[in-house]
Amino acid sequence: MLFEQLKFDVPAKSEVNFGMAMPPEMRRRILGDIGIVESTTPAVSEHYVPYLILLNKLIERHQQEIHKVNREELVGFIWQEGRRLRLFEYEIQQLIDTIPDWLQKVSQKCFVELSPANICEVGSNDAPAAKTGDICFNGIIGQSEKMLSMFNCLTRISNSNLSILIQGESGTGKELVAHAIHNLSGCAGKSFIPVNCGALPDSIIESELFGYEKGAFTGADMQKKGYFEIADGGTIFLDEITETSLNTQVKLLRVLQEKQFYRVGGTSPVKVNTRIIAATNREILDLVKSGAFRHDLYYRINEMTINLPALRERKTDLPLLTRHFINSFARQNQKPVPKLSSETEVMLNRYNWPGNIRELENALKRAVVLADQLIEPEHFPAIIREFENNSAVTPENFQPRQSHGSLEQRVEAAEKAIIISVLRQNNFNVSKSADSLEISRRTLQRKIKQYSIEKFIDN
C-alpha cells in the first residue's frame, strides 16, 4: 500500500516500483538498503511490518504534502505511532534517525526505483550512465528520466551473477535490453542465445532447451546440443517465460539450482555455467498467485527486475526514435530523408502507441515508403489518424465501434467500455473496480493509462 501510494499519489518528483511477492529475507535486504533496518536487528523479528505500517499511516495523514512536513512534526508522529505499535524505544529511535532523512531524499529525486535486489537512482544532479548528448546506449535509444535510470541500472548489474527478469509490454524492446546486459557483462565474447518460449510447443521445448542423445526418440539419429549447452559461458534469453508449462518450469528450476541438466534420453549430467535472463509481457505476480507459474521459479529468475516503460510513458523520447527510424528506413530504401509535417508531429505525440516501439517502427517504415519530401498524416494507418477523434470520449458518451476495425481494435474498444462501466459502478474506486474485474490493481492502472481513462478518475 505504501509503495503504491508513493508511485501514484505523490507529485511527479518520485516514482517507485516495488515487487510485492518476495521472500522475507529479500524484503529485509531491500529495507536494509534504504536504511530502515540495521544489521543489529534480529533477522527473525520481521520488523519491517510495523515500519511499513507506520510509514503508510504517515502517507495517509499528510498525503501529497508529505515532503513539506517539518522534522519536529515527523518525530512526534513517529513516537506516538511507535508506542501504539508496541515498538521498543531503540526501534522508535531508529525510525526517527532514518525516516525524515529518507523522505527528504525521496522528495529530491527525479526518479527512484526499488527492485528486489538493488536500488537504482538517477537524481536531478546525477550524471547519467550514457555520455551527455548521446541518444543511444548499447543500441537502446532514449534520453528520458526513465531510460537514463534504466541505463544506470544496466551498468551496475551487468557484471553481477544475478538472474534478471525483464518485464514490459509487447514491443518495448525486452530482447534489446537483454542484449545490452550481455554486451556489458564479462561474457560479452560468448554466445547470446534468444529463445521464444511461446513459439516452442511443449512437446519439443525440452529437447530444444536441453538437447537429446542419439536414439532418444524416433528420428534422433545423432546427438544434439540444446540451447543451454550452446550458451555455456554466455547468456540464454528466455523470452515469454510465462508461456512455459509447469512441467518445463520444474526442469528450468533444476538448471538454475544445480547448474546442470540431462539431455533427453541421457543418463549423464551436463554441467553448464549459463547466465539466464528471462522476460515476460504478462503480470507474472498474478500468474504466481493463480498457480499458473511456480513461485519458486519466480524467486529464482527474479533476483533483479527491470521494468521497461511503455512508449506512452516516455513520450520525450519519441522525437529521437522517430528521427532514428526515418533515417534508417530512408537509407534502406535509397530515398532522400523526408521530414515530418507539423500536423504529423502532433498526431504522433497524441497517439498512445499500444504496440509501443514496434508499432512506431512499422508505421514509420510505411510512411517513409509512401512519402516524398514531407510525411503527412495520410501516410499512416487509419487507427493512428483516427485516434485523436476517438480519444475525446467520456464515460457518459463512450460506445465501442461495432462495425469498423480489426478484431484486435474491436476487442480493445470493448475492453475499454467494460473498464469505464465498472469504474462508474464503483464510483471510480480503482481497488474496488480491480476486485470486481478479478485483476490486480496494477493491471487495472496500466489499462487505465493505456486507454486514457485516468482523467475521468481525477474529476
pLDDT of residue 68: 67
Domains of the chain: 2-114 (no CATH), 136-309 (3.40.50.300), 312-389 (1.10.8.60), 393-458 (1.10.10.60)
SS3 433: helix
**In this structure, what are the phi and psi dihedrals at residue 273, rounded to the nearest 5 degrees?**
-125, 80
pLDDT at 31: 61
Block means of pLDDT (10 residues each) for the chain, 459 residues, are 47 39 56 54 52 74 65 84 81 78 58 38 42 69 87 87 90 93 90 91 88 86 90 93 92 90 89 92 88 90 89 91 93 92 90 91 93 92 74 46 62 84 81 85 84 60
Question: Residue 404, exposed/middle/buried by CB under 10 A (0-12, 13-18, 19+)?
Answer: exposed
- Phi/psi class of residue 211: alpha, beta or left (left: φ > 0; alpha: ψ in -120 to 50)? left
Cβ 301 vs Cβ 277: under 8 Å: no
DSSP for 195-244, please give it: EEGGGS-HHHHHHHHHEE-TTSSTT--S-EE-HHHHTTTSEEEEETGGGS
DSSP type of residue 120:
E
- 149 with 113: CB under 8 angstroms? yes
Q: In what order do the strands lie in the sheet with 235-239?
A: 192-196, 235-239, 275-280, 164-167, 304-307
pLDDT of residue 382: 86
**What is the 3-state composition of the chain as percent helix, strand, coil, each rounded to the nearest 5?**
55, 10, 35
CA distance 341 to 358: 22
**Statement: the pTM of the whole predicted model exceeds 0.75:** no
For 109-158, where are the alpha helices, taking DSSP H only?
A: 145-157
